[in-house]
Chains A and B, each alone.
Chain A
């Protein structure tokens, strides 16, 4: 039996409750769909492929206080000694740690200063030929540095004129795929590309330059030196436990700081995003619960208000299923209008978020999925009260209440 028209007419005649519920559904749809999209973006961001076997890599800093230490020589000795440790695959002294949020960057252009040529900003890693092996990154084209090509100096006058760049950076600067052998310029300083690496994220995951990195064969040891180590799978904890003692045994006038797995480094970096994600998730759950409770409460209120009416309907021949259907249809009507308004609001909200914050465009899929979810939730919320209404005795029609 179709009751759509009289239910719609009845709703139009007593609008206040329906409009409040409709607005609640609309607001929930708008906020939940955008939040769900932002959460999915955050998840993709947090779980993106960094190009590193994070579980097998760790880093630490060495702060030397001995006046007589030759940092360069000591650094090389340290590297060699760490590489000899059982369970270690490779180790490297490096200017910055990927995914850490700290490092150096520069603009690499197709021409020297003065020429208006295309350029991109990229992260710079300075290390010896063990860098790629330590971080488990493959060379896709060209070759790695040789030991003889690495400048081990305490000043920048002998800065290298060759380097490796990531595939993403190569594709951006050389869309035709002919980057290998070409020269890039850091200001006036040329750098010939001798190799192109697979995916490897820079120190800043959030930045535009996260996929653009250049690796230069340059080792510059100072008082504070940064090491990264890759171990055999499952050996990291053991090596990390031994590293402090091992380093002290090589030179005692120094302290080891910041011993941390690369996965922990990344976790620290993405912690604010993880927090945002959790807060949005809590907001979605709370908002959805409030809406569900709103629907539940309003339906219960409607039932208590319409007890006599429901009894009369039963007396006039309504089956219990007719009463349940009545409340479901009524709820569906409110929900459909609320969802339509909410979907429009969700799209507008997404446009504003895109305009004012660095959020990409929300696919309509999220609005549709949220709308279906809110509709199901609202129907679920109304089933219990509707069943209760169906159990109202028809004899209520003749009693004074």
Chain B
């Protein structure tokens, strides 16, 4: 599903050169649920951005679902993001001027899906996250947990094969965090591959596979549950 070989990311300013990722290697198989942990500034977000094609990398090779990402131009990366990846952000990143229905259909519009099909998919996902009755509400009329569920619905609406979650429960209280985590686990059981960046060791422990990023490198991995064979992907 996702293979990174010797990925390097260097941020260059006039004065300083910062290695955010250094010879980073990772393989993620289809259907995995991986938690990425690590201290602040370790390169977790850079890894997430490169995995999600939100940033380009300086050197190495990144294959996503058989596509060599390094050779793509900006438009091709945008299209691939839209088709293959669903994003869940820590701050939900819902568009405040759009209601829930319109928020969820944003990626579908960028894919050029027809209105009737968009409606079907949006309603299905709203139903799945238990917010079907709130379709016309604006994000600010919802609680944090509800907003994150809408963000998950938006990530799922495009039926991506790969979900990238950036601290999905970081802005939620423990009850809401648990609900969101349960939703992610359910989505994983239904077949989606999930890579989740988190600070929370409790949350990380719930993922079948953990990896830790330290100083831009993969430092360690621990298998808590699931198939040991999958864990030896590094």
A interface residues with partner B (beta carbon < 8 Å) = 1-3, 6, 9-11, 13-14, 308-309, 312-322, 393-395, 397-400
Cross-chain contact B95 with A317 (CB below 8 angstroms): no
With A315-B87, A317-B81: A9-B54 Cβ-Cβ less than 8 Å? no
B107 touches A316 (CB 8 A): yes
Structural contact, A312 and B95, CB atoms closer than 8 A: yes
Q: Considering the chains assembled together, what is the distance between the CA atoms of A400 and B78 in angstroms? A: 21
Contact A314 B78 (CB under 8 A): yes
Interface pair A319/B98, CB less than 8 Å apart: no
Chain B residue at minimal CB-CB distance from A314: B78
Q: Please measure, in the bound complex, the distance between the C-alpha atom of A10 and the C-alpha atom of B109, giving whole angstroms.
A: 15
Q: Interface residues of A: mostly helix, strand, loop or mixed?
A: helix
Q: Is B55 an interface residue (CB 8 A)?
A: yes
Instruction: Sample 8 A-B pairs with CB under 8 A, ordered by A number.
Output: A312-B89, A316-B81, A316-B82, A317-B110, A394-B53, A394-B78, A395-B54, A398-B89
11 further A-B contacts with Cβ under 8 Å, apart from A313-B110, A395-B55, A398-B166, are: A1-B112, A6-B98, A6-B102, A10-B97, A312-B93, A314-B54, A314-B78, A315-B54, A316-B107, A317-B81, A320-B75
A318 contacts B110, CB within 8 Å? yes
Interface residues of B in 2-20 (CB under 8 A from A): none
User: Do A398 and B138 touch across chains, with their CB atoms under 8 A apart?
Assistant: no
Q: Please tell me if B49 contacts chain A, counting CB pairs below 8 Å.
A: yes
- Which of A14, A322, A395, A400 makes the CB contact (< 8 A) with B97? A14
Nearest Cβ on chain B to A14's Cβ, whole angstroms: 6
**Contact of A13 with B93 in the complex, beta carbons under 8 Å:** no
CA distance A395 to B50 in the complex (A): 9
Q: How far is the CB of A99 from chain B (nearest CB, A)?
A: 62
Query: Which of chain B's residues have a CB closer than 8 A to the CB of A14?
Result: 97
**List of A residues within 8 angstroms of B90 by Cβ:** 398
Q: Chain A contacts of B87 at CB under 8 A? A: 315-316, 397
If A13-B97, A395-B49, A397-B93 touch, whether A316 touches B54 (CB-CB below 8 Å) is no
A397-B98 CB under 8 A given contacts A316-B81, A316-B154 = no
Q: Is the CB of A316 within 8 A of B110?
A: yes
* B78 & A318 in contact (Cβ 8 Å cutoff): yes
Hey, which chain A residues are within 8 Å of B112, CB to CB? 1
Q: Which residues of A contact B83 (CB under 8 A)?
A: 317
B177 close to chain A: CB less than 8 A? no
A394 touches B54 (CB 8 A): yes
Q: Which residues of B contact A9 (CB under 8 A)?
A: 97-99, 102
Q: Does B79 contact A (CB under 8 A)?
A: yes
B54 close to A317 (CB less than 8 A) = no
Within the complex, the shortest CB–CB distance from A9 to chain B, in Å, comes to 7
User: Which residues in B have their C-beta under 8 angstroms from that of A318?
Assistant: 78, 110
- In the complex, A248→B48 CA distance in Å? 100
CB-CB contacts of B49-93 with A at 8 A, as 1s and 0s?
Answer: 100111100000000000000000011001101110001011101
Please name all residues of chain B whose beta carbon is closer than 8 Å to the beta carbon of A394 when the two chains form the complex: 53-55, 78, 81
- Residues of B close to A316: CB separation below 8 A: 81-82, 87, 106-107, 110, 154
A312 to B48, CA, bound (A): 14
B45 in the interface, Cβ–Cβ < 8 Å? Answer: yes
Residue among A2, A313, A397 making CB contact with B106, cutoff 8 Å: A313
CB B166 to nearest CB in A, in angstroms, measures 5
Interface residues of B in 105-123 (CB under 8 A from A): 105-107, 109-112
The docked-state distance in angstroms from the alpha carbon of A223 to that of B166 is 101
Is A10 touching B89 in the complex (CB atoms < 8 A)? Answer: no
* Residue in B45, B99, B110 whose CB lies within 8 Å of A398: B45
Closest to A5 in B: B102
For A400, give the chain B residue with the smallest CB separation.
B91
CB distance from A1 to the nearest CB of B (A): 5
Among B54, B96, B99, B107, the residue within 8 A (CB) of A397 is B54
Q: Please measure, in the bound complex, the distance between the C-alpha atom of A313 and the C-alpha atom of B96, giving whole angstroms.
A: 13
Asked whether, in the complex, the Cβ of B89 is within 8 Å of the Cβ of A393, the reply is: no
Residues of A within 8 A of B111 (CB): 317
Kindly list chain A residues whose C-beta atoms are within 8 Å of the C-beta of B110: 1, 313, 316-319, 322
Q: Nearest-CB distance from A331 to chain B (Å)?
A: 16
* Most A-side CB within 10 Å, residue of B91, B96, B97: B97
Taking CB atoms, residues of chain A closer than 8 Å to B74 are: 319-320
Distance from A6 Cβ to chain B, minimum over Cβ atoms (Å)? 5
- Is the CB–CB distance between A398 and B49 below 8 Å? yes
Return chain B residues, CB-CB under 8 Å to A312: 89, 93, 95
A362 CB, min distance to chain B CBs, angstroms: 39
- The CA-CA distance from A322 to B81 in the complex, in Å, is 14
- Min Cβ gap B116→A in Å is 14
In the complex with contacts A13-B138, A309-B95, A3-B78 CB distance below 8 A: no
User: Which chain A residues lie closer than 8 Å to B102 at the CB level?
Assistant: 6, 9-10
